[in-house]
Amino acid sequence: MKALKVLMLMHADLVPPDDVSKISKEELEPMKTEHDVYETLTASGHTVMKLGVRDELGPIRSAIYHFQPDIAFNLLEEFDGQAVYDQHVVSYLELARLRYTGCNPRGLVLARDKALAKKILHYHRVAAPEFIVYPHGQKRIVRPKRLQFPLFVKSLVEEASLGISQASLVDSDEKLKERVRFIHEKLETDALVERYIEGRELYVGVLGSKRLQVLPVWELCFDKLPEGEPLIATRKAKWDTKYQKKLGITSRRATQLPPGAREKIERMAKRIYRLLSLSGYARIDFRLTDAGDLYFLEANPNPQIAKDEDFAESAAADGMPYDKLLDKILALGMSPDGA
């Protein structure tokens, strides 16, 4: 594609230096996506301006006025410390008449609220675990009889497995109360409690708005998980390299799926993507039981796209190397109809 002027929006603490040789690998790790995107876009001939955003829209307005970008590459996952505020930044970009990459505000609203997403999909008869939400500040934690143990407790809105650990899986009312209070007090968000689905954890990347491209089904694997231990995508499992080596945690192309399962998963991913009004690119998370039942877990608009993350690796497995993936994301953002 032709060279563009790209305004890269990222959290103020995740702006990579121009010369990464001056910082350690550990310091670079949190900003890996930002670094990979910046380096690849500049190598592809685009003129890129990095902009760190924290809690003000003024810097974005100033950058739009002075830099005159063709498009904003949106890597924000929060605004002013609130995960659900990223949708407002995208709305601001629309009001400024600036094209952007990734998901539209409507899709962000629907997907970020995991309970709302499940309610919409339940209406359309998409299978998902039964759940209940305990609002932040609610003191009385009572489990409805319809929800049977084991149960899984997580934040209603946070991403990247924030607040998820082995303790998130509870098997008693006392543990349920403790974990809900943990979410309320530590993350200061509502708590989502859902029936735990035993099975394989599958991730499906989707690109597009009208014409959708589904990437190969990816799986989170625990090759050294002790027998009887539940497979949980905890924060340590996703981000702690030592813990990953200990349990043999990898994500790779799903193999030995039951007959017809791959086609069913791909159809369901596209259906969910459309029902939640997603656009740009997103990852849909599922659980597949031994009996072959498929359950929707959550949708992740604008997922991590570092070179070694699930989304980019599944795109590469589909014949789309990293630079071509970023070109595709830019092209979708530049398209008038989001094709």
Res. 151 pLDDT band, cuts 50 70 90: very high
- Please list, in sequence order, all residues whose beta carbon lies within 8 angstroms of the beta carbon of residue 156, skipping any fewer than 6 positions away: 113, 114, 115, 133, 189, 190, 191, 192
Query: What pLDDT does residue 241 have?
Result: 81
- What digits encode the pLDDT tens for the residues 191-244? 999 999 999 999 999 999 989 999 999 999 989 888 878 888 887 887 778 888
Query: What pLDDT does residue 161 have?
Result: 76
* Triad 184, 237, 23: Cα angle to 5°: 95
Q: What does pTM read for this prediction? A: 0.94
Place of tokens 């505020």: 85
- What digits encode the pLDDT tens for the residues 292-334? 999 999 999 999 999 999 999 999 999 999 999 999 999 999 9
Query: What pLDDT does residue 249 have?
Result: 87
Rounded to an integer, the average pLDDT of 164-177 is 95
Query: What pLDDT does residue 268 have?
Result: 98
Spell out the domains of the chain, with CATH numbers in brackets: 5-100 (no CATH), 130-195 (3.30.1490), 198-334 (3.30.470.20)
Query: What pLDDT does residue 162 have?
Result: 84
- What digits encode the pLDDT tens for the residues 50-74? 999 999 999 999 999 999 999 999 9
The answer, yes or no, to whether residue 337 has pLDDT greater than 70, is no
Q: CA 221 to CA 254: how far, in whole Å?
A: 9
Res. 272 pLDDT band, cuts 50 70 90: very high
